[in-house]
Amino acid sequence: MNGPDLTQRPPRSPRVRLGGYVILPRMLDKGRATINGLNGEFHFNCPLDEQFLNFAGIEAAAVKELLAQGQGDAEILAFVQKTSKRTPLEIAAWSEMQDRRVPTDVDSRKFFQEYHEKLAPHRSDVATWFDILDIDDHVTFGGKA
């Protein structure tokens, strides 16, 4: 099975959409890499993936099974659309909310701030979880924040 080598490059950004869903392409990259033993420090079915899985009403094991069978993005999207029953409007609203999600409680704000200070203290444009993930991916593979 072909899949990304996440020891050499990051998975797709959480902002990349498949069928209107954010997070899904990133989760698929991590799943394929995990199956191939090339996931590096990335984890399939992490809390971010769970955001998508819970919204779609899909089990991680079902997605991983499809990935292990060599299913491509289009086939997995068809499975998601058949299983999830979410409307295009719900998907668009949820994806937009995820794209703008910020830390909301004291503990997550503290974690976010410390993470931000470690990765890119000079960047004042970092506000969302997707912002910090994109910067982390870039810096982890040699980029400058």
Profile the chain (145 residues) by mean pLDDT over runs of 10 residues.
90 98 98 96 96 98 97 97 96 98 95 94 95 95 88
Helix (H) or strand (E) holding 83: helix 73-84
Three-state DSSP class for residue 44? coil
How many other C-beta atoms can be found within 10 angstroms of the C-beta atom of residue 124?
A: 8
The pLDDT assigned to 27 comes to 98
User: What per-residue confidence (pLDDT) applies to 1?
Assistant: 62
Q: What is the pLDDT of residues 27-39, one digit of tens each?
A: 999 999 999 999 9
The token pair that represents 114 in the structure block: 């410390």
Strand (E) or helix (H) holding 129: helix 129-140
The per-residue pLDDT for 111 is 95
**Rounded CA gap, 109 and 95, in Å?**
21
| Per-residue confidence (pLDDT) for residue 3, from 0 to 100 | 86
Full-model pTM: 0.94
Give the pLDDT score at 2. 79
Contacts 24+ apart (CB under 8 A), 113-121: 119/145, 120/145
